[in-house]
Amino acid sequence: MRSSTSLSRYNSFSLIHKKQYKIHSIYMSISKYTVSQKEMQDEWLEVQAAQKEPSKFRTLYNRYYEPIFRFVYKRTADEALAADLTSQTFLKALQKIDKYVYKGVPFSAWLFRIASNEIAQHFRKLKKNRLVTLEERTTKELVDEYDDKEDLELNIELLKEMIQDLKPAEVELLELRFFEKRPFKEVADILDITENNAKVKIYRLLQKMKKKFAR
């Protein structure tokens, strides 16, 4: 699985994708469609094929390179860094594919989880927090969660400062749920927690932010 041959195959089609990928597609929305059980089962067969023969990993790589790249770019705002971390994500996925076990969730959740860890590790090495870019529609999503919307709309700048002070895990929750509008089930799959746990964590985080606004 970690042979020079398999890694060479990975590197070859990784370079091809970097050259073909166009930056104008970065802000396209990541697909939120519900993956059916049959689709997940069919993909599990593809994963099993890749576990037996690393070259079969190409099918999964081709399918998910762009969504993973967009996911990373939105969290780094650096094209070169995003390409590097995306490559590391797929390299680790290739190296660990034999340990992957189907748990009734899309394979992409596993990839997003690896990508999230790569991003966190990168910024830990730099010993600094990454910046969080807020768009107008993003703040509106958060505003909609509050009862006193008029008061909150007057404090958008405070909201931005507050988000910058959140812990990395809290920022990740906000990004997945509000910035990218992912359903709770998808948030849970990516974070490897239960859907109910995801709802509880997000509810508590919003309550925490509300208390800070009240001060």
Domain count, the chain: 2
**Considering 91, 126, 161, which residue would you say is the last residue of a domain?**
126
Distance CA 76, CA 185 (A): 25
Establish if 21 belongs to a structural domain: yes
Q: Which of 16, 30, 19, 10 is nearest to 90 (CA)?
A: 10
If asked whether residues 91 and 176 sit together in one domain, one would say: no
Rounded average pLDDT over 161-180 = 84
- Do you know the residue count of the chain? 215
Rounded average pLDDT over 64-81 = 93
Alpha helices in the chain, H assignment, sequence order: 4-20, 37-52, 57-76, 79-96, 107-126, 136-143, 149-153, 156-164, 168-174, 184-191, 195-214
User: Is residue 160 scored above 80 in pLDDT?
Assistant: no
Cβ–Cβ contacts within 10 Å for residue 100, how many? Answer: 15
If asked whether residues 84 and 183 sit together in one domain, one would say: no
The proportion of the chain whose per-residue pLDDT surpasses 90, expressed as a percent, equals 39
Say what the pTM is. 0.72
Position 204: which residue type?
Answer: R
The most distant pair of C-alpha atoms in the chain lies apart, rounded to whole Å, by 60
pLDDT score for 213 = 66
If asked whether residues 143 and 98 sit together in one domain, one would say: no
Rounded average pLDDT over 27-42 = 65
**Considering 61, 93, 126, which residue would you say is the last residue of a domain?**
126
**Which CATH number fits the domain that encloses residue 208?**
1.10.10
For the ranges 42-56, 63-77, 117-131, which has the lowest average pLDDT?
117-131
Task: Report the range out of 22-31, 51-60, 151-160 with the highest average pLDDT.
Answer: 51-60
pLDDT score for 215 = 63
**Which CATH number fits the domain that encloses residue 115?**
1.10.1740.10
User: Is residue 151 scored above 50 in pLDDT?
Assistant: no
Task: Report the range out of 18-22, 50-54, 207-211 with the highest average pLDDT.
Answer: 50-54
Q: Are 112 and 190 in contact (CB under 8 A)?
A: yes
Q: Is 203 exposed, middle or buried (0-12, 13-18, 19+ CB in 10 A)?
A: exposed
Token couple for 115: 């990508």
If asked whether residues 17 and 121 sit together in one domain, one would say: yes
User: Is residue 162 scored above 90 in pLDDT?
Assistant: no
pLDDT score for 211 = 77
* Higher-pLDDT residue of 87, 152: 87
For the ranges 64-68, 115-119, 159-163, 197-201, which has the lowest average pLDDT?
159-163
If asked whether residues 93 and 190 sit together in one domain, one would say: no
Rounded average pLDDT over 4-32 = 45
Establish if 107 belongs to a structural domain: yes
**Considering 95, 126, 157, which residue would you say is the last residue of a domain?**
126
Distance CA 79, CA 82 (A): 5
Task: Report the range out of 23-37, 138-152, 171-185, 191-205 with the highest average pLDDT.
Answer: 191-205
Q: Which domain holds residue 90?
A: 4-126
Q: Are 157 and 143 in contact (CB under 8 A)?
A: no
If asked whether residues 57 and 153 sit together in one domain, one would say: no
If asked whether residues 118 and 148 sit together in one domain, one would say: no
If asked whether residues 173 and 199 sit together in one domain, one would say: yes
Establish if 190 belongs to a structural domain: yes
If asked whether residues 8 and 94 sit together in one domain, one would say: yes
If asked whether residues 10 and 76 sit together in one domain, one would say: yes
If asked whether residues 40 and 112 sit together in one domain, one would say: yes
Establish if 112 belongs to a structural domain: yes
Token couple for 63: 């399918």
Distance CA 110, CA 77 (A): 23
Establish if 131 belongs to a structural domain: no
DSSP result, 116-157 = HHHHHHHHHHHTSPPP----HHHHHHHHTT-S-HHHHHTTHH
If asked whether residues 115 and 164 sit together in one domain, one would say: no
